Amino acid sequence: MNLLRITDRKKYLYMKVIRAKSAGFCWGVERAIKVAREESDSGSKTVFTDGPLIHNRQMMDALSQEDIREVGDYQSSRELNLEKSEDKESVVVVRAHGISPQRREYLKGLGLPFRDGTCPDVGIIAGKVKLHAEKGYNVIIFGDPKHPEVIGLVGYANGKAYVVSEDEDVMRLPNLGPKVALVSQSTMFTHEFKRLGSILAEKYPDMVVFDTICGATKERQSDLVELVRDGAEAIVVIGGKHSANTRKLAKLAASHDLPTFHIETERDLESEDFSEFSAVGVTAGASTPEFIIRSVCEKLKEF
């Protein structure tokens, strides 16, 4: 019994922490933060973001120290009451997830300088939706109908958008005729997009398909599988609870029958949860800052 306890203790002390190669900020998030910080100029101007600039509460709190303020709501649907200062200039910055053209017109009508922090990958999807809707296509968007990115994309379809997230949604689609185009929210699973696309192709054989899942999302999903191959016995996924790509990573980890912990910071970690593991994999959503990833890895190593 004593020998077993010593062996278990040694395993506990030398738990290996394996970090995914692509964990943390994607380039679209980095760009949005850069835009907001350029406008803030270290707090010399007030920056209003229409909803959270990115889906990470800790990073938004850090940005607030530079007078970058989140206003409105998660889905960018509420009217804004901006508290302008007489001592400082103010500017409106569009979040990384993008907005509908109708919302863009509303924000520009507020009478403040305007900067667009939309991820360019999301902008490409919006362009495809707009172009094909103008050509008479009905556009099917694979994604979460309540996610701000999808809400923004729907606005570019001029009433010709249909959002699907599961098989039942496909079955409920009306006869859309021969001109149908399919795109995806940028943070969805690749294998789910392909599977749903094959079902839709049976219903709409002439459908035009655009794989618009962004490269950063695909890379993170692929690197998570590498953590499993490298011997991780449990996975820690770091990111905001509202972050779609982080929730997808947690779901993917759990699909490998591994204990999965979706946390926001190192404060969410409990040492007893990891006492049975010799190796733990760590990944993070595209909106998770480096300082949080480092602190999580350091705390796990202390365990």
Active site residues: 149
Where do the H-state alpha helices sit in 77-189?
101-108, 120-134, 148-154, 167-171
Gap between the Cα atoms of 293 and 288, Å rounded: 7
Gap between the Cα atoms of 109 and 135, Å rounded: 29
Task: Tell me how crowded residue 148 is: count the other CB atoms within 10 A of its CB.
Answer: 27
Gap between the Cα atoms of 182 and 95, Å rounded: 24
How many Cα atoms occupy the beta-carbon half-sphere of 69 within 13 Å?
A: 17
Gap between the Cα atoms of 107 and 262, Å rounded: 34
* Residue pair 160/133 in contact by the 8 Å Cβ criterion: yes
